[in-house]
Amino acid sequence: MVSLLKVNRWVFSASALALTVSLGACAPSSNNQAGAGNAGGGGGTTITLNGAGATAPNPVYQRWFADYNKENPNVQISYQSVGSGAGVKQFLAETIDFGATDAPLKDDERSKYPTGRGATPIQIPTTGLFIVFAYNLDGVEDLKLSREVYCGIVDGSIKNWNDPAIAAENKDAKLPDLPIAYAYRSDGSGTTSIFTSHLDEACPNWKGGSGKSVEWPTGTGAKGNEGVTAQINQTKGAIGYVEYSYAKENGLKMATLENKAGEYIKPTPEAAGKALEGVEPDSKFVVTVEDPAGKDAYPIVSLTYLLLYSEYADAAKGEAMKNLVTWMMKSGGTAAGELGYIPLPASMQDKVIAQVGNIKVASAK
């Protein structure tokens, strides 16, 4: 499906740009290809880079790869939007050239890093993103959800749309006497990891824990951000968690959420960016903002990551990977902002470029 998507560029910018994009509510296992990069390609030789993983950043990754192809046509990049869990597994199994995950690698995953690929994996952030409660409810255009309410929806204690707790914050809305149809991710998902990490902090009665897969006490599962988006779109009374750009592109309504400071915050790139202000990544480039305290900060925000090998036996692939990531940092911010993602600040971009500069290739051994 194609639509005009208007979003703002960076946390402090008010520039709105119109963009026609095709996100496609396709099956998460579909294989999306775009060319990218002659840097490191050498003499026009075609180089193929295969990646797989997180669905949340798939729209911006496809845009970046297509934009890069216009400048550098001889590296072909195939990225499969299969979920963070599958991306990590394929990366550790060496069946792809790079992985993608919204959930940083855990110690037990790092322990499975393949020998012969250097000492440690390279984990780098690419962009900030935020998770929204998208919903399908006729006649309710500006749904407000207190922390008590959205915690109750996900734990199953609030079951109907005309529940008094929902009505208390939506006095002018005509809430129907309709069961709440909660939609969640059924696959191993970095989006789920971000979302449940927030629930762990924000919801006193949440018992499901956090991670790429959890046991949900209520609702119906679907695969990928694409699948949950489609389920909400097709089901009256549905509500579920998806990455912002999927809800925006598919015209889904998004709830205004109460944040830690008690303020009701609309899901916008500006509000999401405020959650990352002043936050510095640790030595593994992990940024932790499970429940940001800022008065104007949207509450469910994180970074998404690429996983790279620290050594590539194929020198052309290694150099192409370095140059692609460098281009993403230097030239990808505008497209990220247009699609509703949060471009990394310049200081973090510089750190990413320096980190990928440490990748070893066969010719440099």
Q: How far apart are CA 92 and CA 138, in angstroms?
A: 45
198 and 265, same domain (yes or no): yes
155 and 289, same domain (yes or no): yes
pLDDT at 29 (0 to 100) = 35
pLDDT at 214 (0 to 100) = 97
29 and 72, same domain (yes or no): yes
89 and 201, same domain (yes or no): no
204 and 280, same domain (yes or no): yes
pTM: 0.84
242 and 162, same domain (yes or no): yes
Nearest to 136 by CA among 163, 176, 192, 170: 176
267 and 326, same domain (yes or no): no
pLDDT at 16 (0 to 100) = 30
Residues 339, 243 contacting (CB under 8 angstroms): no
Indicate the number of domains in the chain: 2
Residues 84, 101 contacting (CB under 8 angstroms): yes
Q: Give the residue from 256, 272, 301 where a domain finishes.
A: 301
Nearest to 6 by CA among 289, 15, 99, 125: 15
268 and 182, same domain (yes or no): yes
In this structure, what token pair is assigned to residue 275?
Answer: 């959650």
Residues 257, 150 contacting (CB under 8 angstroms): yes
Q: Give the residue from 285, 301, 317 where a domain finishes.
A: 301
What is the chain's pLDDT, residue by residue, as a tens digit (365 residues)? Answer: 333 333 332 332 323 322 223 333 333 333 444 444 344 344 468 999 999 999 999 999 999 998 888 888 998 899 999 999 999 999 999 999 999 999 999 999 999 999 999 999 999 999 999 999 999 999 999 999 999 999 999 999 999 999 999 999 999 999 999 999 999 999 999 999 999 999 999 999 999 999 999 999 999 999 999 999 999 999 999 999 999 999 999 999 999 999 999 999 999 999 999 999 988 888 888 988 999 999 999 999 999 999 999 999 999 999 999 999 999 999 999 999 999 999 998 989 999 999 999 999 986 44
- First-to-final CA distance of the chain: 47
Alpha carbon distances (Å) from 234 to 3, 38, 50, 56: 18, 42, 33, 20
Beta-sheet pairing, 181-185 with 238-243: parallel
Q: Give the residue from 276, 301, 326 where a domain finishes.
A: 301
Range of the domain at 62: 2-128+303-364
pLDDT at 33 (0 to 100) = 45
156 and 109, same domain (yes or no): no
Residues 246, 225 contacting (CB under 8 angstroms): yes
- Domain with residue 18: its CATH number is 3.40.190.10
